[in-house]
Structure 1
Amino acid sequence: MTTTCTRNLRGALCLALATALSGPTLAADHQAELQLGIGRYFFDSDRDLDDANHINLGLGYVLNRDWMLEGRLVDFDADAERGGIDFDGRHYHLDALYHFSPTGKWRPFIIGGLGAVEFDPDNGSAIEETLLNLGVGVKYALSERWQLRGDARLYNSLDEETLDYGLNLGLSYLFGVKPRAPARPPAPADADGDGVYDSVDACPGTAPGVRVDGRGCEVVRPVDSDGDGVYDRRDRCPDTAPRLKVDGSGCPITLTDTVSIDLRVNFDTNSSVVKPEFYAEIKQVADFMAQYANTVVTIEGHTDNRGAASYNQALSQRRAEAVARVLTEQFAVGAERVRALGYGEAQPIADNDTAAGQLANRRVVAKISAEVETQQLR
């Protein structure tokens, strides 16, 4: 059964290789490769075979710049580790090679395929197995038509469930090498495209569309349409308003200012209820945040020092969250822009020994700032 399948596989491999060789080549610098090489097999210990040297012959057809289809025949002699039996071996397989982008004269590749191996003992019937192989290798360009090639592979027997591996080194000859087109002499350079070659251009960097003389220089007086002191051909911001100060590119000079708003809300003793009298101040914060869409606010809650520190910490958090709710629920500020944080009694701003100081410390505060740009006047 194994022998019959292997013979059928051999025919299929030959047919596939013949079909590939009859097809068209696609965007490659050569059409085929003939390789002669040597190598060594390292057999699975279950085979009871000594490692063996081999010679190989391969023919590859280039499908395109990256892919190649290759048929290979390998011949080797192997000795059994016990019994003194000598095996004549033959290995034939059809492989696909994928090449990576070359680095100088080196070009790595991966290879994999399907084939068969035949072990013919000197005193018995031949044994044939179906093999899968997978490996990596590299090619080195010796010249336009000659390459040095090496690869390492794993061979998996589908019949015996063994895993061999091998090393291969060979010399390849390339057929159908396409002649390289002769290099064209470089055209005279004209970097600014004014029709005057750089070698004689007395005014390099002329803007597109500007009329020049034989020396490459503008023949008309430069125009400054918006009167900002920068000629139109260099003005990146045409139609600048008359009173605005501009930079060397004709664009208004902008100044960055910081604007800010403070929030301060006081609470009754042991209370986290926001009194209506502070709604107007909270609305001012909401209006500020609506005007400057990128702003966020941290609402900071505080208490006086009466009561346990842990209780005051929780109370300050409730106070901060109460103000945050007014911002989000009453004035439609996005919840993702508001953060509430309680500090308890840890940050007093007044003396806790007086009623006035305690009132000042029972507070929620926040400060929001934003950067705005204004244009500088002349």
Structure 2
Amino acid sequence: MRLNHTKFTISFATLKPYLLMLLFILCILNAGIVRADENRGWYIGGALGKTKYDLDNRNIAEEIATDQFTVNSIESDTNDKGYKLFAGYQFNSHVSLEGGYFDLGKTDFTALVTPTGSLYGQSEFKGINLDLIGRVPFTEKLSGFGLIGVTYAKRNDSFAPSEAIFVANPNRDDKNFNPKIGLGLEYAFTPSWAARLEVERYRLNDAIDKKGYANFLSLGLVYKFGRKAAPVVAPAPAPAPVVRQQEYCTTLDIEFEIDNAAIQRAEKEKLAVVANFLNKYPATTAVIEGHTDDVGDTDRNLGLSQRRAESVVDYLAANYNIARNRLTATGYGESQPIADNATEDGKRHNRRIKAVISCANDIAGLQPLTARVTMALKMEYARNNADVAEEYYGELNRVGKFLNDNPDVTATVEGHTDNTSPATAVKVSQLRAQKVVDYLVEKAGVDRSRLTAEGFGLSRRYAYNSTETGRQQNRRVSIIINYPNP
């Protein structure tokens, strides 16, 4: 038998798939080798599969035959069954190290030669391996993996010549180190048991020390030690239906007349809402903040804002029995404007009370009284004039209809003036209010007993009298609806 022992060389093309697989494994190592988790532990397994050999049997036959014979044809059987057993340690969800034993089965060939004769050859491969495995979990149960490893394989060869063929050594064996790569899927039925489907490519040395391959497709079973199923927790009984607890908070904003701390009738409806909240939730408290515009002395404005806050506290305590220790009055003067003091509207918004009321939790839910309609109609007049202008007839008729539709309410008509003399101011403002009352009685059919006329002169300025626009706004009548106590 003639054997050619070629020099051992490896080209880049040969190593390329192994290098790519190694790069894949290194990436996974970088992602998770130092982060051990609940998936770590030992495991064992086994697999059965089919082997497909990729060996140059013609070249083997030609090398083994003597010089005076020529190979005419060759028939090969490159498929067989194989198995492997393995054990490994899984460091975490991504990385494990695995060793095992494999038997890839046999491959054989029959070569016909000239002069007449034949040569039958058979090789079988088995050995041990060590693999580095990188995993990529797809779902809680399914993961993919790649591996790169090294094998130490034993090859057993046997040759049976016929007629004129002669083989000097018909039986031989050899052992070699070679690399391997693989890809696969693993599905965990339980934390302890999993199925594995994988394909591996083994690098082999054939009978004449040429490089060949064996591709092994297998299906296996894996048992993982120390893995426990998650405890089954009995579902808790359905809770009795309840209304979701809600948090209720409220604030209050009311405005004041110029240089005045008295609470206007129209604002008392807002205070009724706040009082209902405080009575509904006796554990809540309120901070009543008083504010002014920036007209006048700063210290005087600070005192005015304090009086405004205290007037609200007094009103809530006297009319709704709110304990005073739940109410705090604080005056801020002109220091916290919410609008531009350069305009009349801005000044008016800054003359205010803000009530900040603590939050309350309630399962049943709060249904407070809403602020009822005040219909604070403002009617403007020429200087020292008390006649009702025709342009207000439509509004007054609507007020009359509201009063007739709601016989349990009353109305107060308030008259106001600008900076005329005090005596004239009171007289003119009272006359303005009275003429509106007369209109509602005579034209709208409202019972006079339900109407009250009051003149406030120039004591309740809506705007400053420093401009004609401000004076015009102060020459007015307001109609305030009064509701019976709930």
Q: Please tell me the TM-score bracket, short chain as reference.
A: 0.3 to 0.5
TM-score (normalised: structure 1): 0.43
TM-score normalised according to structure 2 size: 0.34
- Bigger radius of gyration: 2
